[in-house]
Amino acid sequence: MHLSNFQIFLLLTVLKIVVVLLVTLTAVAYTVLLERKVIGLIQNRWGPSRTGPFGLLQPLADGIKLFLKEDLMPLAVERPLFVIAPMIALSCALVSIAVVPFGNVFTYRGVSLFEISDINIGLLVILGITSIGVYGIALSGWSSNNKYSLLGSLRASAQVISYELALGLSLVGVVLRAGSLRLRDIVNSQAHHGALSWNILPQFFGFFIYLMAAYAETNRAPFDLPEAESELVAGYHTEYSSMKFAMFFMAEYANMITVACVATLMFFGGASSPLGHLLPETFGGRFLTAVFPILWFVVKIFAFIFLYIWVRSTLPRFRYDQLMSFGWKWLLPLAMVNILITSLVLAFHG
Amino acid sequence: MQLALFLIFAVLCVLGALNLLLQRSPINSALSLVVVMLSLAVIYWTLGAEFLAAAQVIVYSGAIMVLFTFVIMLLNAGEEVKTRGSKVAYIVGVPAVLCVAALLSYTFLHERAALGYANLGGRLNDGASNMAELSKVLFTDLLLPFEVTSILILVAILGAVVLARKDN
């Protein structure tokens, strides 16, 4: 059977989407397990250990449990929005991974295999989709008709809007250095001398701002005020149960993975090896040259997620006014100074 | 392919706009406006204006409309009461809208050679990124309007600060 190029493109794209979705959702499930395990060990307990060896089947059991639970629909909710909100949250969290390049360019009949799509403005696409994701949280709180939910979602919207500015500005330095918004170009601009040419060294302040803003954007500790359980019961998802709750849960962890992907691409050389040219180009034959970059990428993502969990189990929660003044009075000016210095250096040196 | 995208999102855009007018609860209207803006962004994209599409999503749907919904949620605005509307709106408004629409479409169709137009779904720039060109124009030919706009926004921010500050 002979397939035209367009048919090949269509088939491979669908295949890539299915594979990436499966891998991401599995990663989400096992990030939850990793979090419970690591926090358990940090707090000197075991974490889940009964379901399967080392508790490895725990995500499966949790999934079945959430799926089989009764789906409660409170009487006072705004029905359509209440149902749509978790879908918006989850789909926005999953869509943004479509522009992430996972490995080196490796084409089969003109279709790049290790990324779903390669877009000129990939970075803006990720930022745009993340900014749409706020609607999931905002609407869930409003449509629940519950004061704790509403307070949680108001906090979340204000927090996300405030930190989005710092987040966007922290990445401008990297974009200036690479001269492109295409993620592939940004990765290539840091691939010359291994770990030495990664953006983390010249853009350290940018990375610091990005990291802080990313914790706030994903509503994670120490900025998890939208779901501060000691103040707001559970925040915006108080009224949700069963799979609708699971969607919010998955969206949060998928967002963590996306944020880790962006940090890796922007500051840690994406899928490029930290060893640079110490290893020969054709090390280990054709198969290994294709697989090694993906391995590096996964290791970097894992390190970021571990950092996330470590921070959550170590730091206490900020107070709301501290959160706001930190974002507006420290991160935002710092990001602007970073842009100014980067552009001055590029103007006189580049 | 691009024709299909255009048709889908143009229909979605018009439906969103109609829904915006017909809904009685403010939050549904605001969300319909978000749908309109997102479909416009997709149409920009199919025309090759990628940066404009991204800016539309990030600025309008991601920031401004979030603030709108934020305010609606905060004030807990209830359902609007449907009124018959004023007679002036029917007598003057409807013909005026039709006149403007007719004038605009006449101008576009008559002067399209001079205005420069894209074929339906045709890409303006062969898939190349137009960001560099856009920034060149913005920082050379259109520098004055660009800077004046930023001063305008600064004035708006100062105004907001003055209004929000407590008297003491």
The first and second tokens of residue A42, run together, are: 């940090």
Does the structure show a pLDDT above 90 at B100? yes
Determine the Cα–Cα distance for residues A290 and A108; give it in Å rounded to an integer.
Answer: 12
Domain boundaries, chain B: 2-122, 128-168
Q: Which secondary-structure segment (H or E) carries A250? A: helix A242-267
Interface contacts (A, B; CB < 8 Å): 75
Determine the Cα–Cα distance for residues A184 and A133; give it in Å rounded to an integer.
Answer: 24
ipTM beyond cut 0.90: no
Interface mutation target, options A77, A88, A142, A169, chain B, most CBs of B under 10 Å: A142
Reported as a single tens digit per residue, the pLDDT across A19-67 is: 889 988 888 888 888 888 888 888 888 888 888 788 788 888 888 888 8
CA torsion through residues B64, A136, A217, B53, sign: negative
Neighbours of A113 (CB within 10 A): 16
- B14, B18, B92, B109, B110 from B95: Cα distances, Å: 20, 19, 6, 21, 22
State whether residue B63 sits within 8 Å of chain A by CB: yes
Note the pTM of the prediction, 2 decimals. Answer: 0.83
B103: confidence class by pLDDT, cuts 50, 70, 90? very high
Sequence-ordered alpha helix ranges (H) in chain B: 2-22, 26-46, 50-55, 65-75, 87-88, 94-110, 112-115, 131-139, 143-164
Do residues A42 and A119 lie in contact, with contact meaning Cβ atoms separated by under 8 Å? no
Do residues A114 and A16 lie in contact, with contact meaning Cβ atoms separated by under 8 Å? no
Greatest alpha-carbon span in chain B: 62
A101 Rama sector, left if φ>0, alpha if ψ -120 to 50, beta otherwise: beta
The answer to whether A132 contacts B38, with C-beta atoms less than 8 Å apart, is: yes
- A85, A163, A300, A301, A303 from A156: Cα distances, Å: 14, 11, 28, 25, 26
Reported as a single tens digit per residue, the pLDDT across A78-97 is: 788 888 888 988 998 888 88
B69 CB neighbours in chain A (<8 A) are 135, 138-139, 142, 157
Which of B38, B54, B131 lies closest to A125 in CB terms?
B54
B134 CB neighbours in chain A (<8 A) are none
B14: confidence class by pLDDT, cuts 50, 70, 90? very high
CATH topology of domain B2-122: Four Helix Bundle (Hemerythrin (Met), subunit A) (1.20.120)
Q: What is the mean pLDDT of residues A320-330?
A: 87
Residue type, B90: Y
Reported as a single tens digit per residue, the pLDDT across B128-161 is: 556 777 777 778 888 888 899 999 999 998 998 8
The answer to whether B57 contacts A120, with C-beta atoms less than 8 Å apart, is: no
Determine the Cα–Cα distance for residues A187 and A33; give it in Å rounded to an integer.
Answer: 30
